[in-house]
Amino acid sequence: MPQVQVNGRFVPDMKSPRTADNEEPAAERACDFRPVDKGFTKEMALAEAERCMDCKKPLCVEGCPVNINIPKFIEKIREEDFGGALDIIREESMLPAICGRVCPQENQCEGKCVRGKKSEPVAIGQLERFVGDQPELASKPKMAPKNGKKVAVVGSGPSGITCAGELARNGFDVTVFEAFFTGGGVLVYGIPEFRLPKAVVKREIDGLEELGVKFEYNSVVGNITTADELFEKGFDAIYVATGAGLPKFLNVPGENLPNVFFANEYLTRVNLMKANNFPEYDTPTKHGKNVVVFGGGNVAMDAVRTAKRLGAERAIIAYRRTEDEMPARRAELHHAKAEGVEVMPLVSPLEFVAGEDGTVCAVKVQKMELGEPDESGRRRPVPIEGAIEEIPCDVAISAIGTNANPFAKKIGGKMELNKWGYIVADEETGQTTDPRIWAGGDIVTGAATVILAMGAGKKAAASITKAAAEGQI
């Protein structure tokens, strides 16, 4: 650890700066889909690992939703035992290469890091990613003997694959049913290549297959099979992790004009169907010159940065509050702005306007100002009377959130749903009102984060393992 001499004693240098991220220059990276962040080199990782103070009561561990033993894996990095570091992470998380990249660490582990109080927190996410990217160094996971029980996992997003991996390690025979032709859920259709390379997701899925997890793709559970049929086929339990993929409407005129997209479609075309490589790939997309994205979350950032990479001259994030209230990660907002994205705060869409060719040519927005705080404690945006502006755009994208996956209700069983279509499940165990069905991730909580979905998958796996041990399933 870097030390300084204070009053004749050597103490840790609390002001030693955090090792800077290894980023591609903004001007170059904004032209293509290569990863923005190249990750730490070995030297950078070793230098950053030195900054960890190995706290007796590590708050960072509390900040991690799956409680990875952070000081211990960082200690292994200092010892240059990267395989050992990965083994420690894998005791709690099967997907370090993904979480190291997409977790909002500033609100989780790094947000709690003691060093962050005086200067900058340890770059835990970067260190986790550094070891996660070297899976060949890890030991083979310890597998429990087969217990003869079969579990069906519905959905292969972060929650489903975490649950599947844990269950396989615990001796279950696991089959994952996925509606798409490939696994990963939002990790493959939602989060762009420049934030999370698809090769990393594939590597993690391949790893699960090596553990014996089976994947049935193109399987829309609810239509192709139901909970009752899965039980008839010999499955002992089901974990439902179908996510919250149904886009929310803006409910303004012109929303259905051609070239007005929901972010899900815009991102799926590029991320999953590779529309950026059209016509080598068959799926086309629209390369707008002027693109407006409504929303202030990570999905909005992903959409606007994608638009920039597809050649937009002007790419705007239009948000009804101000930058300070944006739910997106600060790093993503910072990246977007560095890439030339324009932020237009305090506007709300009123109407999409059609041009002569019948596609969108402009959007009328209502200007807002911040009023009194609402129930969430954030100041409520209030329209400024008569302040209406028309912004020219040839592509408009709505990224204001999503609702429950509509297939959850078709799965059946005795599982209860709330009035918004989300599954009712025990917070601690993930068990639903049907004792043989568990659920977790966005289909229980509504749209949240990758790591929370993973945490829910882990809890459910533990609960299913316990139920099997106690002979309840």
Partner 1 sequence: MYKILEKTQFSEKVFKFRIEAPEMAKHAHAGQFLMVRANETGERVPFTLAGWNPEEGWVEFIFMVIGKTTEMLSTYEAGDSIKDVTGPLGMPTEMAEGPCAVIGGGVGLAIAFPVAKHLVETGHEVHAIMGARTKDLLLLEDQFRELLDDDHIHITTDDGSYGEKGVVTAPLERLLQDKAVTQVFCVGPVPMMKFSAMTAEKYNTPITASLNPIMVDGTGMCGCCRVEVDGKTKFACVDGPDFDATKVDWNDLRARQAAYRTEEGQSLKAYEEANCACHRYR
Binding site for partner 1 (CB under 8 A): 179-181, 189, 217-220, 223-225, 245-247, 249, 255-259, 261-262, 264-265, 268-269, 273-274, 278-284, 358-359, 405-407
Q: How far is the CB of 101 from partner 1 (least distance, A)?
A: 23
Q: How far is the CB of 238 from partner 1 (least distance, A)?
A: 17
Q: How far is the CB of 299 from partner 1 (least distance, A)?
A: 13
CA 449 vs CA 61, 107, 174, 210, 399: distances in Å: 18, 11, 24, 26, 16
User: Of 173, 171, 172, 153, nearest to 163 (Cα)?
Assistant: 153
Q: How far is the CB of 439 from partner 1 (least distance, A)?
A: 18
Q: How far is the CB of 178 from partner 1 (least distance, A)?
A: 10
HEC string of 238-272 equals: EEECCCCCEECCCCCCCCCCCCEEEHHHHHHHHHC
Sign of the dihedral through C-alpha 78, 82, 87, 93: positive
If the CB atoms of residues 395 and 468 are measured against partner 1, the closer one turns out to be 395
Sign of the dihedral through C-alpha 90, 93, 98, 101: negative
Sign of the dihedral through C-alpha 461, 463, 464, 466: positive
The answer to whether residues 287 and 264 touch, using CB atoms and an 8 Å cutoff, is: no
The answer to whether residues 383 and 367 touch, using CB atoms and an 8 Å cutoff, is: yes
Q: How far is the CB of 167 from partner 1 (least distance, A)?
A: 23
If the CB atoms of residues 65 and 243 are measured against partner 1, the closer one turns out to be 243
Burial class of residue 180 (count of CB atoms within 10 Å of its CB; 0-12, 13-18, 19+): middle
**H or E, element range at 412:** none
Query: How many distinct helices (H) and strands (E) make up the chain?
Result: 19, 17
If the CB atoms of residues 69 and 283 are measured against partner 1, the closer one turns out to be 283
If the CB atoms of residues 181 and 420 are measured against partner 1, the closer one turns out to be 181
The answer to whether residues 81 and 133 touch, using CB atoms and an 8 Å cutoff, is: no
If the CB atoms of residues 16 and 264 are measured against partner 1, the closer one turns out to be 264
Q: How far is the CB of 359 from partner 1 (least distance, A)?
A: 7
Q: How far is the CB of 250 from partner 1 (least distance, A)?
A: 10
Token pair belonging to 34: 């290569």
Q: How far is the CB of 80 from partner 1 (least distance, A)?
A: 40
Q: How far is the CB of 93 from partner 1 (least distance, A)?
A: 26
If the CB atoms of residues 405 and 465 are measured against partner 1, the closer one turns out to be 405
If the CB atoms of residues 107 and 218 are measured against partner 1, the closer one turns out to be 218
* Through-space distance between the first and last CA atoms of the chain, rounded to whole angstroms: 51
User: Of 294, 283, 284, 287, nearest to 316 (Cα)?
Assistant: 294
Beta 402-403 vs 246-247: how paired, if at all? antiparallel
If the CB atoms of residues 113 and 275 are measured against partner 1, the closer one turns out to be 275
If the CB atoms of residues 194 and 407 are measured against partner 1, the closer one turns out to be 407
**H or E, element range at 437:** strand 437-439
If the CB atoms of residues 264 and 366 are measured against partner 1, the closer one turns out to be 264
